Amino acid sequence: MFKILEANELATNIFQMIVEAPRVAQACLPGQFLIIRVDEEGERIPLTICDYDREKGTVEIVVQAIGAETFKLGKLKAGDSLADVVGPLGKPSDLCEESIDELKKKKIVFIAGGVGTAPVYPQAKWLKEQGVDCDVIIGAKTKDLVILEDRFKKVCNLHITTDDGSYGRSGMVTKALQDLWDEGNKYDHCVAIGPMIMMKFVCKLTQELGIPTIVSMNPIMVDGTGMCGACRLTVGGEVKFACVDGPEFDGHKVDFDQAMNRMKLYKTEEGRLMLKAQEGDTHHGGCGNCN
Amino acid sequence: MDGFVRVPVREQDAKVRATNFQEVCLGYNKEEAESEAQRCLNCKNPKCVQGCPVSIDIPAFIQQVKEGDVEGAYQTISKSSALPAVCGRVCPQESQCEGQCVRGIKGDAVSIGKLERYVADTARELGIKPEGAKEKKGKKVAIIGSGPSGLTCAGDLAKMGYDVTIFEALHEAGGVLVYGIPEFRLPKDAVVKKEIENVKSLGVKLETDVVIGKSVTIDELMEKEGFEAVFIGSGAGLPRFMNIPGEQAMGVFSANEFLTRSNLMKAFDENSRTPIMRPKKCVVVGGGNVAMDAARTALRLGSEVHVVYRRGEEELPARKEEVGHAKEEGIIFDLLTNPVEIHADENGWVTGITCIRMELGEPDESGRRSPVEVPGSEFEIECDAVIMSLGTSPNPLISSTTDGLEVNRRKCIVAQEENGQTSKPGVFAGGDAVTGAATVILAMGAGKAAAKGIDEYLSNK
């Protein structure tokens, strides 16, 4: 069992937790992920790592409740435990491999969308610790959904944009990137993490602007160690497993349309289970899948 | 009953079992077991023992069954095998112990597998546990992976008095016994869990949720955590695909994914929180035991199932018993057939698969006749799911993170057959990580050999 030390709701249905997981905390690097199970009957949920403390042996996760399983997770409080936390999985970010001098010469921009803001944080923080500056663009639907703002301000040059213009700049992250570019910010490395549709359009823009772009893919997974192949993607015409070959890939080579399509695989089944979980004993069909 | 025919074993009716996940084979009862045991000739030079990869003293335990001494029989088997209830169910006895049985020359071989199962199941019901070590050696050994080779190696080392810890990447112990082999062949709670508890009762510690090579490396285990030897039994690895058009369509799965969802995550149960696709008509590509397991699982989830295999019936790598069971249950075999393309609708869901007829040409390196396409013989099978069961390639997680660990051309870990020694001192390996995909009992044999190798290594250190 893995004890939850802290649990907060950062915004509506976006939950942050600090969990005891000494082996993961000891070994993880920015870019990697972990898999949790809420309880003994739980599904395996892959989540990105938002922060870690090697001395305390803790990891921080941020998760948006979107299905039966993540709603269950969101209900847990400090003092409760998760049945399983396993990781770190996947490869660390390429940035961790590069020489610090090289990194210092680069103008790096991170583009974070929605709950994808969380996995950008450890990368920006890590760069700061190495003495490397970077820009971060956080995109959210509206002001209330902007998360981790204060912590980002301490580690980067932060730009916020909201779809409805209720906070920061107005419009999608692609508009913010284009505007910053036009304002004279000639980036030469981009990392985009967020919903697949956002990453797709960021990649389209950065291709036009000629900025090499890394994306972090979050497809359906089961074991997370390469065994099942559920998370396979086409990258540059080759089949890759996000769990062991990624999760980060060259965004200009990823087949996003195929990846987005594959996300629909269990939509109806998941929806049925979610309705069942929400309605409990009162669920008597109506979801279109039950008898 | 004359001595030439074995006592038949009771099975669930094929029509009934095709719709449930309960065990197919019901096993012997006391009378049946004792009657079958009478058929053993108690040979002076028992060939069956030579056929057993873990050298169980088969005539001895069968004599004990004959005398009604189940506890004695269990301890006899336990000296050689940590997982008798598993082996009695999934070993290919026909090509091992039973294949060597003198009785088999004229008539049926003694039903050794079913007798082993009877002993293990009865011992479990009676609460009989294997005997542990009398003295502790005070030396720590790490076992990577809790599948058949790891459990065997751990059990043997614990019996010798070593302080053993198993590291398992998944949330549950058992490896292929829990994620791969279905409930209807090997019940999880009733059989696998109990066998693992028996191994733990010998003093073996188990840490789940640890991915060696990621959470911690072998070098760290040896340098920082005080393990003096390590056994790698990490299993087969990454599923292969065919690289044909349409393979990323929705409804195409690896057998590993399909089986892991159903077995480990219990998705066969409607109440499981992990989803699984329940196809209407599904094509399973491949002819091995894993393909049979995937096909029979899909059938039980309500699908019509076609097994597509590029060679003929004789060449099917699966056990005859499994093929027979699959046919009885209504699975259709499209042999000498190979997929060329998978079709999907405008939303990306599988609608069918184009296959081509094959004929057998000259024998290849493996001695099997290699299949050749018949030009112009393409045809389509309509289906909504395709399950690829084409074997696996080794997972590089451990080999790429361990200094000085040699792998061969096929990326399998190089280890000596007689003692499991790898190129790295103190590190031993066995099972599918070394051989590529094979059987439970061969992995157990390798785990056993490595336990001996580790004992020798640590005794001389």
Helix axes B148-160, B440-460, angle to 10 degrees: 40
What's at B179, amino acid-wise? Answer: Y
| pLDDT tens per residue across span B382-415 | 999 999 999 988 888 899 899 999 999 888 999 9
**B140-236+393-460 in CATH: which number?**
3.50.50.60
Question: Which fold, B10-126?
Answer: Fumarate Reductase Iron-sulfur Protein; Chain B, domain 2 (1.10.1060)
Rounded mean pLDDT, B312-323: 91
The pLDDT value given to residue B436: 86
CA distance B263 to A222: 12
**Residue in B209, B238, B275 closest to A270 by CB:** B275
A23 interaction partners in chain B (CB closer than 8 Å): 210, 215-216
Contact, A21 vs A57, CB < 8 A? yes
**The predicted structure's pLDDT at residue A285:** 44
Q: Which residues of chain A have pLDDT under 70?
A: 268-291
Using CB atoms within 10 A of its CB, is residue A288 exposed (0-12), middle (13-18) or buried (19+)? Answer: exposed
Chain B residues with beta carbon closer than 8 angstroms to that of A239: 241, 243, 247-248
Residues paired with residue A158 on neighbouring β-strands, in sequence order: A136
**Element holding A84 (H helix, E strand):** strand A84-89
Quick one: residue B361, left, alpha or beta (phi over 0 = left, psi -120 to 50 = alpha)? beta
Query: Is A290 in CB contact (< 8 Å) with chain B?
Result: no
Provide the whole-model pTM.
0.91
Q: Does residue B298 surpass a pLDDT of 50?
A: yes
Q: Range with the lowest mean pLDDT among A182-186, B276-280, B334-338, B364-368?
A: B364-368
pLDDT at B308 over 50: yes
B153's tokens: 């190696």
Query: Hey, is the C-beta of A69 within 8 angstroms of any chain B C-beta?
Result: yes
Interchain contact, B275 vs A24, CB within 8 Å: no
Size of interface A-B (CB pairs under 8 A): 113
Give the best residue of A43, A52, A59, A228 to mutate against chain B (max B CB count within 10 A).
A228
Q: Phi/psi of residue B419, each to 5°?
A: -140, 5
Question: Which sign, positive or negative, has the C-alpha torsion B247, B377, B323, B49?
Answer: negative
Q: Measured between alpha carbons, how far is B381 from B352 in angstroms, rounded to an integer?
A: 6
Strand partners of residue A135: A109, A157
> Who contacts B125 (Cβ-Cβ below 8 Å, separation ≥6)?
none
Tell me whether domains B10-126 and B140-236+393-460 share a fold: no
What number of CA atoms fall less than 13 Å from residue A73's CA on the CB side? 31
CA distance readout (Å), B183 to B91, B178, B188: 16, 8, 6
Q: What are phi and psi of A121, to 5 degrees?
A: -55, -50
Per-residue pLDDT for B152 more than 80?
Answer: yes
- Alpha-carbon distance B62 to B85, whole Å? 15
- Could A223 and B216 be called an inter-chain contact, meaning their C-beta atoms sit closer than 8 Å? no
* E-strand stretches of B23-178: 25-27, 140-144, 163-167
What pLDDT, on a 0 to 100 scale, did the predictor assign at position A68?
A: 83
User: Closest residue of B to A87, CA-based?
Assistant: B215
Q: What pLDDT shows up at residue B125?
A: 93
- DSSP of B162-227: -EEEEE-SSSSS-THHHHTS-TTTS-IIIIIHHHHHHHHHTT-EEE-S--BTTTB-HHHHHHTS--
Are the beta carbons of A89 and B211 separated by less than 8 Å?
A: yes
Residues of A in contact with B248 (CB under 8 A): 232, 234, 239, 258, 262
- The SS3 assignment for B30 reads helix
Distance CA A65, CA B140 (A): 43
Best of B206, B208, B209 to disrupt the A interface (most A CBs within 10 Å) is: B209
Rounded Cα distance between B380 and A118, Å, is: 47
Interchain CB contact of A134 with B (< 8 Å): no
Measured CA to CA, the distance from residue A263 to residue B442 in angstroms comes to 38
B373 Cα distance to chain centroid: 32
Helix (H) or strand (E) holding B295: helix B289-300
| pLDDT, position A286 | 42
- The 8-class DSSP code of residue B43 comes to -
Tens-place pLDDT, residues B37-57: 999 999 999 999 999 988 999
Q: Which residues of A touch B274 (CB under 8 A)?
A: 43-44, 222
Q: Would you tell me the crossing angle of helices B58-66 and B70-78 to the nearest 10 degrees?
A: 170
Q: Cβ contacts (< 8 Å) between B250 and chain A: which residues? A: 261-262, 264-265
Q: Where are the domains of chain B?
A: 10-126, 140-236+393-460, 241-390
Quote the CA–CA distance of B414 and B422 in Å, as a whole number.
6
Q: Which of A68, A264, A269 sits opposite B250 (nearest CB)?
A: A264
- Phi (first) and psi of residue A240, to 5 degrees: -125, 150
CATH superfamily of B241-390: FAD/NAD(P)-binding domain (3.50.50.60)
ipTM for the complex shown: 0.89
Q: What is the pLDDT of residues B158-189, one digit of tens each?
A: 999 999 999 999 999 999 999 999 999 999 99
CA–CA separation, B386 and B254 (whole Å): 8
Whether the per-residue pLDDT at B276 is higher than 80: the answer is: yes
- Examine the pLDDT at B58 and tell me if it is beyond 50: yes
A1 touches chain B (CB under 8 A): no
Nearest beta carbon to residue A223 from set B170, B214, B272: B170
> A88 and B215: CB-CB below 8 Å?
yes
Whether A241 has its CB under 8 Å from any CB of chain B: the answer is yes
Q: Does A39 touch chain B (CB under 8 A)?
A: no
Interface subset of A 187-216, CB within 8 angstroms of B: none
